[in-house]
Amino acid sequence: MASENPFRSILKTLEKPDGGEFGSYYSLPALNDPRIDKLPYSVRILLESAIRNCDEFQVKSKDVEKILDWENTSPKQVEIPFKPARVLLQDFTGVPAVVDLACMRDAMNNLGGDSNKINPLVPVDLVIDHSVQVDVARSENAVQANMELEFQRNKERFAFLKWGSNAFDNMLVVPPGSGIVHQVNLEYLARVVFNRNGLLYPDSVVGTDSHTTMIDGLGVAGWGVGGIEAEATMLGQPMSMVLPGVVGFKLTGKLRDGMTATDLVLTVTQMLRKHGVVGKFVEFHGEGMRELSLADRATIANMSPEYGATMGFFPVDHVTLQYLKLTGRSDETVSMIEAYLRANKMFVDYSEPGSKTVYSSNLELNLEDVEPCVSGPKRPHDRVPLKEMKADWHSCLDSRVGFKGFAVPKEAQSKAVEFNFNGTPAKLRHGDVVIAAITSCTNTSNPSVMLGAALVAKKACELGLEVKPWIKTSLAPGSGVVTKYLAKSGLQKYLNQLGFSIVGYGCTTCIGNSGDIHEAVASAIVDNDLVASAVLSGNRNFEGRVHPLTRANYLASPPLVVAYALAGTVDIDFETEPIGTGKDGKQIFFRDIWPSNKEVAEVVQASVLPDMFKATYEAITKGNSMWNQLSVASGTLYEWDPKSTYIHEPPYFKHDHVSTSITTDHISPAGSIHKDSPAAKYLMERGVDRRDFNSYGSRRGNDEIMARGTFANIRIVNKHLKGEVGPKTVHIPSGEKLSVFDAAMKYRNEVRDTIILAGAEYGSGSSRDWAAKGPMLLGVKAVISKSFERIHRSNLVGMGIIPLCFKAGEDAETLGLTGEELYTIELPNSVSEIKPGQDVTVVTNNGKSFGCTLRFDTEVELAYFNHGGILQYVIRNLIKQ
């Protein structure tokens, strides 16, 4: 078990320049190890964490050595434990985490312990930003109207989160209407360096949103994880990760006039996807970094999931410090951050001699080579130079259906569909824009592109250009600061004039919260099979994500979003074709409305001020009228409402649930609730009308809904059904065809535990908590597969499910397993006899016997299993204290 940290001898004191002390810290230079100077800066953060948390149980000295020897160990896929400094949640994934905490409090209370001991053990920040929808647009009242609808739909969830913010220590809940989680993190929540009880250490964060990586632009190591990993982290447990390779990405030169951060990030995304960076860190360096603003860095870091990397990391330098001051961090805090990082070899100073840093592989980009571009029509890494857009669009119409094709017959490509829009004759063609949205964390953190969009609007208005009234235009800023600097610049009125009024503060169009488009437009698209377009300043554009009726979705900078809204189509060559006709009948071209870098920089300099950040975030903790009016109980134990279909007490601590290439997208409940599903039946039995079903995401706090949605994906293939696609299975031995949930409940009633037989890379896909929680609630005790996706295997262990791997060359088919057998897994009688990675024998009732590898990979995982799961393990440890 845990022992005293063996590295206490390298604890040093950090002195202030003017006398006194900032605090103590674990000094990397004090190791006197020459390998440190060669480590990428991102790996030095992993090293410091391992040293600081070393207890020879959860984190061992040999783990520190693995990281120090990164140059040799990283190619070997070795695993290390990592304890991030804090956890970041958004509301969809945050609700089940808070539900589990509330449930643990009840369990602690029932066991006679002190329920108030159940709190996050590391700081947790939860930003409610995923529930706002663009129901109302092109209206000065849009923010208020959309927020009222948001509160109507989500009152139960919001009240529960407000209770949690009061009940738990170490948890901050940022109310709805405050901004996008990643921008609030960048501008307000990030510490960069922690000073906790006099101990200094680097900020690091895991979040339940894949774009948590945006914080890497600030020199904070952060990435997205599944809900179970996030819960484990906030309960003080280490997460297991493969020590990553690090791709060094060198930047040189300077962006040419008229280029935007979006042009740059789409270029970087395409380069890195081609290079191959899945599971790796990318670390940016080079003299070009001097020319890259913090907001530009954050834009590149944000899209790490789109280029496939775990992180896109920008080490702290003078640009980072300037941004910290701009966003209202105190001089004392910034001084402490710089002093600590310099002392611990984590600060980049361009005036110092050349770096000795070694990378796994290297890429280089001259910023002068970046050109205007968009990405689409269906994937974020399918970059299209703006000058080639018209030709590429026609190629997409011609090509067979796929990522770059719609297979529209030649004779149908130029058809114009006439319709009536609010009494006005209108036409739609293939490629016409019906949604134009300045949305998402990717760009709304960046004053240059936001004010650039406003300058485009100003020039367009002055020349007499307009946006067609049936195009759904919207502006969803990442924080209230954007509103302040748009107002200060005097440019918001031009955005309003073109229909880009502010609709809310949160994650909107980019995650499909785009709301309905006008029914006349929708009918024209559906009845005529038109390939309609959306142009958005987001980070994801997969088909069906933005809106069900926009089959062509293009990612673009905010200024380009405005330009395409004005053009009304993506079928345009901006170099040679006019964008529209001005008030004097003169043709207006793209170049007539596009601002220079100098124009943008002057507006940014005059309009983006430190006081705006201070004022915005001083107000954020005070909430808003709708949030403050929510009535919640004041007790430290949650008062569960058995009638609620949103928040339900999970059964993890009831004894009947506690025991000593399918992707998570197939397993985990996601998307809308199908009218014929067990979840729909459950809701209708409780008087919920079909129009109020909402989504699985919004009901993640109700285990009854989520269990019924597990393995309910309409594309899943269950071999019991001999190739039939759909969320059904066969109950053995009756042969009855049932939904997976109904079959699982039948087995439960028969007191039969169940197992899953699977193929290779079981659980690959987005790591989701319910992909492990759901099977546990269905009574699954073990999964036997050819191999596991790393995070999903860890999540299964966390929920008390046994992961087993077939021996090399064997699987269910070679062993002749049908899934209709009864299985006995021969584990040692005593948990103390179980060893990580040991061989076990599995025997079936028809005489088959085969060996498997037990995939408990560490002593810590065995401890979780011994207690029935991670939540039970934490409770029993707290009771002992």
Give me the pLDDT at residue 714, please.
Answer: 59
- Same fold flag, 373-608 and 655-880: no
Query: With b meaning 16 or more CB within 10 Å and e meaning fewer, what string describes 340-372?
Result: bbebbebbbeeeeeeeebbbbeebebebeebeb
Given a cut of 70, is residue 715 above it in pLDDT? no
pLDDT value at residue 672: 67
Q: What is the pLDDT of residue 327?
A: 95
- Sheet-wide strand order for 472-475: 383-385, 373-375, 550-555, 532-536, 433-438, 472-475
Residue 704: is its pLDDT beyond 90?
no
- Residues with Cβ within 8 Å of 628's Cβ and at least 6 positions away in sequence, in order, are 622
Residue 108 belongs to what H/E stretch? helix 91-110
pTM: 0.86
Strands 780-785 and 754-757: parallel
Retrieve residue 113's tokens.
């312990």
Say what the pLDDT of residue 703 is: 82
Distances (CA, A) of 475 to 211, 300, 465, 506: 20, 21, 19, 10
Q: DSSP for 532-573? A: EEEEESSS---TTTS-TTEEEEEE--HHHHHHHHHH-BS---
Q: Is the peptide bond before 244 cis (omega within 30 degrees of 0)?
A: no
Contact yes or no for 201/194 (Cβ under 8 A):
yes
Beta strands in 332-400 (DSSP E): 361-366, 373-375, 383-385
Tell me which CATH code domain 1-83+243-369 carries. Answer: 3.30.499.10
Mean pLDDT of 667-675: 67
More confident residue, 255 or 788: 255
Average pLDDT estimate for 669-685: 78
Q: How far apart are CA 865 and CA 842, in angstroms?
A: 19
Torsions phi, psi of 322, nearest 5?
-60, -40
Q: Which tokens is 652 given?
A: 């993890």
For residue 812, the cross-strand partners are none
> Mean pLDDT across the stretch 395-404?
95
Instruction: Read off the pLDDT of residues 2-36 as tens digits, 9 standing for 90 and up.
Output: 678 999 999 999 999 888 999 999 999 999 999 99
Residue 768 confidence (pLDDT)? 63
Among 39-53, 95-109, 746-760, 793-807, the range with the most confident prediction by mean pLDDT is 39-53
pLDDT at 55: 95
Average pLDDT over residues 430-459: 93
- Residues 341-360 have a mean pLDDT of 91
Query: DSSP letter string over 635-702?
Result: -SS----TT-SS-----TTSGGG-----BHHHHS--SB--TTSHHHHHHHHTT--GGG--BTGGGTT-
Give 731: exposed, middle or buried? Use CB within 10 Å, 0-12, 13-18, 19+. middle
How does residue 321 score in pLDDT terms, banded at 50, 70 and 90? very high
Per the document, the length of the chain is 881
Q: Round to whole Å and give the CA distance between 755 and 769.
A: 19
Q: Where are the domains of the chain?
A: 1-83+243-369, 373-608, 655-880
Share of the chain above pLDDT 70, in %: 95
837: exposed, middle or buried (C-beta count within 10 Å: 0-12, 13-18, 19+)? Answer: exposed
Whether residue 469 is preceded by a cis peptide bond, meaning omega within 30 degrees of 0, is no
Distance between CA atoms of residues 95 and 208, nearest Å: 11
User: Among candidates 27, 6, 321, which has minimal Cα distance to 199?
Assistant: 27
**Contacts of 449 by beta carbon, 8 Å cutoff, 6+ apart:** 260, 261, 262, 299, 443, 537, 557, 558, 559
- Residue 131 makes CB contacts below 8 A (sequence gap 6+) with 91, 92, 150, 153, 154, 157, 176, 506, 513, 698
**Looking at 6-78, which runs of residues are DSSP E strands?**
11-15, 21-26
Contact 49, 82 (CB under 8 A): yes
Span 517-522, mean pLDDT?
96
Fold of the domain spanning 373-608: Aconitase; domain 3 (3.30.499)
Confidence of residue 658 (pLDDT cuts 50, 70, 90): very low
- Residue 660's pLDDT band, with cuts at 50, 70 and 90, is very low
Q: What is the C-alpha to C-alpha distance for residues 718 and 740, in angstroms, rounded to an integer?
A: 10
DSSP labels for 264-275? HHHHHHHHHHHH
Q: Is the pLDDT of residue 655 over 60?
A: no
Q: Is 781 exposed, middle or buried (0-12, 13-18, 19+ CB in 10 A)?
A: middle
Residue 225 tokens read as 């994880």
How many Å apart are CA 280 and CA 40, to the nearest integer? 12
Structure tokens at 330: 């105190």
Tokens at 655, concatenated: 């004894």
Tokens (6 digits) for 687: 């008087």
Structure tokens given for 782: 């073990």
CB neighbours (10 Å) of residue 36? Answer: 18
Confidence check: pLDDT of 732 > 90: no
Query: Which residues on adjacent β-strands are paired with residue 247?
Result: 282, 361
Question: What is the CATH number that goes with domain 655-880?
Answer: 3.20.19.10
Range 709-714 average pLDDT: 72
pLDDT at 597: 93
Confidence label for 721 from pLDDT (cuts 50, 70 and 90): low
Could you tell me the pLDDT band of residue 448, with boundaries at 50, 70 and 90? very high
Per-residue pLDDT, averaged over 227-244, amounts to 87
* Contact (CB, 8 A) for 282 and 311: yes
In this prediction, residue 765 carries a pLDDT of: 58
Distance from C-alpha of 861 to C-alpha of 240, rounded to nearest angstrom: 10
pLDDT higher than 90, residue 630:
yes
